[in-house]
Amino acid sequence: MKSWKKRWQEELDAAVPALKDEVLNEPIPTCDRAQTVAFAPASEPWYKKLFATPQRIASFAAACVVCVATVGASAYLFRPTAPLTVEQEVISVEVNPQAVFTVDKEGKVTAVAAVNQDADVVLAEERYLEMQGKSVQEAVEIFVDYTAKLGYLDLNTPDAVRITSCVENGWLDKVGDALENYFCGKGAYIAVAAETVGLDAFCQRVNMEVCDSVQSLKSSVERIPALTFLRETGEKTAEELQQIYAQTVPLEEVKGIFRSTLSAVEKRVEDYLAISELSDDIRYHEDNNFGLLGFGKDYWSILDKEIPDTMSALMTEMAERLLAYEESCGVKIDSLDTLAVEGVKCSASALATVLKSLSDSLLSTSLDLLSKNFQAVSVLLKSFDIDTTLLEELLELPETVEAYYQKVNEYTKERFALLQETAREGYEAVREEISASNYAEYIAGLEREYGSLSEYFKNL
């Protein structure tokens, strides 16, 4: 590599025009060393004129004061400032789950923290560790992809996410570009609203105490536990822990699981009754002459027979219902005897009525009362071979911090699985990739309609 001096010399040579030979050969004028040039002395030294009168002295002093003040002000206003680096940056990502990401000077994520309980579900089971150490663009993309897998973000419906920083010229634009590329690749018309706000506003947005600097905020995020339910337990009494637990595991969520369990029981009874009725239709069909003296045989006894056309539709429907029952209930009905055994359980139309009555009353109570009265319902549910383990664990109120952590971990794990299964079809739906021009045109339309993507996000 050439030194800067050589490069500079070459640039100077290139800038100076070529001189003619006669100019280059012209002698350089010199001066005799003995020759001197005399300068006429001034009539009066300058400093004597300057301070000749008191008024001039005062004017000179005032001018000096103005000069000093001007130089001082300029030095302050135009003082060099250290550029804000990425090691001072914290970025918030909001879908509905909201999380904050701290970033080092290399653009790598040093910590991820949930801002709300929905983000706990996304980041639980140490999923936040997947994002640490990665570039902030990749980490945020992983987080947003999880929110889509869980159905918080519907890739098949126009929507928006908001990313926020309190640092100018940081990583926000790169994160925004990465998310836009992700959405285009997924064929999703999801806008990315990027905002840079003041430090106080940022702290409020992420539910943190106001910090005096970005570095202080970054340090705070790196110190706190990644999940909200791991914070603020401290030295709590059992009663206080149970109150926190009731807020962390919403009563409506538990009731939702309870309703789902009861619906499974009702569906099982309904399906059994349909199979039982269909079995009778086959057994007593007028063309079922496979038994002695022309009496009919049951479905399982005639599977190897040549079935009349008038019965083929019934036989096909029975096969489909039995397979579906086995898949949904885990019970294989392969004979008239096993149908009767299953009927002992499901003959409980009365039992199902009792369950419904109990559930209606329990679902209108508090988590504490639901917990205390669940055992009676549990016995009935188990008679249907329903696994009540999850409900029992959720309704067993914690007595210690350790029990609290374990129970909430279990809750977030189950909720993650439930949401993922519910949203799977929509997430895996085939969508055509969006071109950059089409996406840009879509975003421009939103900005014309709402004024900005931030306003669009607020209006969702």
pLDDT at residue 108 in the model: 95
What pLDDT, on a 0 to 100 scale, did the predictor assign at position 207? 93
Question: What's residue 379's pLDDT?
Answer: 72
Same domain, 148 and 290: no
pLDDT reported for residue 411? 84
The answer to whether residue 78 sits within a structural domain is no
Q: How many CB atoms lie within 10 A of CB 106?
A: 11
Please answer whether residues 227 and 124 qualify as being in contact, where contact means their C-beta atoms are separated by less than 8 angstroms: yes
Q: Are the C-beta atoms of residues 388 and 223 closer than 8 Å to each other?
A: no
User: Would residue 373 count as lying in a domain?
Assistant: yes
For residue 88, give the nearest of 65, 112, 104 by alpha carbon: 104
Q: In terms of domains, do 106 and 178 share one?
A: yes
- pTM of the prediction? 0.62
- Number of domains present in the structure of the chain: 2
Distances (CA, A) of 89 to 55, 97, 109, 230, 393: 57, 20, 10, 24, 41
Residue type for 365, please? T
SS3 460: coil
Same domain, 241 and 222: no
Are 241 and 331 within one domain? Answer: yes
Q: Which one of 381, 397, 413 terminates a domain?
A: 397
The pLDDT value given to residue 448:
96
Instruction: Please choose, from the candidates 254, 299, 255, the residue with its C-alpha nearest in 3D space to the C-alpha of residue 279.
Output: 299
**Final residue of a structural domain among 374, 397, 420:** 397
Shared domain for 260 and 300, answered yes or no, is yes
Let me know whether 279 and 210 are in one domain: no
Has residue 220 been placed in a domain?
yes
Residue 343 confidence (pLDDT): 82
- The H-or-E segment that residue 163 falls in is strand 159-165
**Is residue 409 domain-resident?**
no
For the record, the structure tokens of 458 come out as 């607020």
Identify whether 406 is part of a domain.
no
Domain check: are 167 and 247 in the same one?
A: no
Which two tokens mark 24?
């280059």
Classify residue 33: in a domain, yes or no. Answer: no
| Residues 206, 247 within the same domain | no
From first to last of the 460 residues of the chain, give the pLDDT tens digit: 433 334 445 544 555 555 555 544 555 444 443 343 343 444 444 444 444 555 554 554 555 444 444 444 444 444 333 334 445 799 999 998 999 999 999 999 999 999 999 999 999 999 999 999 999 999 999 999 999 999 999 999 999 999 999 998 889 999 999 999 999 999 999 999 999 999 999 999 999 999 999 999 999 999 999 999 888 777 788 888 888 887 777 666 777 777 777 777 778 888 988 999 999 999 999 898 887 765 678 999 999 889 999 999 999 999 999 999 999 888 899 999 999 888 877 765 555 555 555 556 555 666 666 776 677 677 777 777 777 777 777 778 888 888 888 888 888 888 899 899 999 999 999 999 999 999 999 999 999 999 999 999 999 8
Closest CA to 177 of 131, 127, 136, 119: 136
Task: Write out the residue range of the structural domain in which residue 190 sits.
Answer: 86-231+436-459
- Cβ–Cβ < 8 Å for 97, 122: yes
Separation between Cα atoms, residue 260 and residue 267, nearest integer Å: 10
Q: Is residue 38 part of a domain?
A: no
Of the residues 397, 422, 445, the one at which a domain ends = 397
Residue 30 falls inside a structural domain: no
Residues 278 and 338 in one domain: yes
212 plus 246 within the same structural domain = no
299 and 206 share one domain = no
Query: Residue 191, Cβ neighbours under 10 Å: how many?
Result: 23
Tell me the backbone φ, ψ of residue 309, rounded to 5 degrees: -60, -35
- Please state, in angstroms and rounded to a whole number, the distance separating the CA atoms of residues 176 and 170: 11
142 and 273 inside one domain: no
